[in-house]
């Protein structure tokens, strides 16, 4: 008898808690204002009205949007210029210095790593770090995490290097 009464009380409590939480969640979802931070989805007509030619805040919003688009286009062009690939010939006595984030692939010749500090350059293909003065293998992707690093022709060789460069660089 006590077990049946206990089960009924637990069932009533669980059903009541479920009904309360369900109604609370529904009222929470309905209370969000369209276009607010809590409900960012808006209709096309709302955007047209905001940016339309109705004057007032629409004109200032349109000008602000055009300024943002212009700045975005300039940034995209600057990024595009830094990511073009180029084949560079490095003559003996020269050093090909990389910008931060640049990538090289040594295609022809024998090259050695150059670094202005104790850290080397990342050989992504082999998964190793090449210290300054060590040989750079051909056809391996080399990434330069910071400026002050590069590749140069092996001093024991007389020929130039052919390097495919992705990103910024400088010949010194």
Q: 7-27 pLDDT, tens per residue?
A: 888 888 888 888 878 776 665
pLDDT of residue 31: 55
CATH 3.30.70.3280 matches 85-171: no
pLDDT of residue 28: 55
Whether the pLDDT of residue 81 is over 60: the answer is no
The percent of residues above 70 in pLDDT, for the chain, comes to 79
The encoded tokens of residue 68 equal 């943002």
Q: Which of 107, 164, 103 is nearest to 139 (CA)?
A: 107
Instruction: Pick the more confident residue, 54 or 6.
Output: 6
Average the pLDDT over 132-157 and give the result: 85
User: How do residues 96-137 score in pLDDT, each as one tens digit?
Assistant: 888 888 888 888 888 898 888 877 888 888 888 888 888 888
User: How do residues 25-53 score in pLDDT, each as one tens digit?
Assistant: 665 555 566 666 666 777 777 777 777 65
User: How do residues 57-68 score in pLDDT, each as one tens digit?
Assistant: 556 767 777 888
Q: Which of 51, 150, 46, 156 is nearest to 167 (CA)?
A: 150
| Residue bearing tokens 């940016």 | 51
Average the pLDDT over 132-149 and give the result: 85
Model pTM? 0.50
Distance, CA of 51 to CA of 68 (rounded, Å): 14
């Amino acid at each position: 008898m006590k077990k049946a009464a206990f089960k009924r009380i637990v069932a009533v409590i669980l059903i009541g808690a479920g009904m309360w939480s369900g109604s609370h969640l529904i009222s929470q979802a309905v209370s969000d204002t369209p276009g607010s931070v809590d409900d960012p989805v808006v209709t096309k007509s709302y955007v047209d009205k905001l940016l339309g030619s109705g004057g007032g805040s629409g004109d200032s919003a349109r000008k602000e949007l055009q300024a943002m688009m212009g700045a975005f286009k300039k940034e995209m062009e600057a990024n595009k210029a830094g990511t073009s690939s180029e084949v560079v010939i490095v003559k003996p006595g020269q050093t090909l210095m990389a910008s931060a984030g640049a990538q090289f692939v040594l295609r022809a010749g024998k090259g050695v790593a150059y670094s202005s500090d104790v850290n080397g350059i990342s050989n992504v293909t082999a998964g190793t770090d090449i210290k300054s003065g060590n040989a750079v293998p051909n056809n391996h992707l080399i990434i330069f995490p910071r400026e002050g690093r590069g590749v140069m022709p092996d001093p024991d060789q007389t020929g130039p290097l052919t390097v495919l460069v992705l990103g910024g660089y400088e010949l010194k």
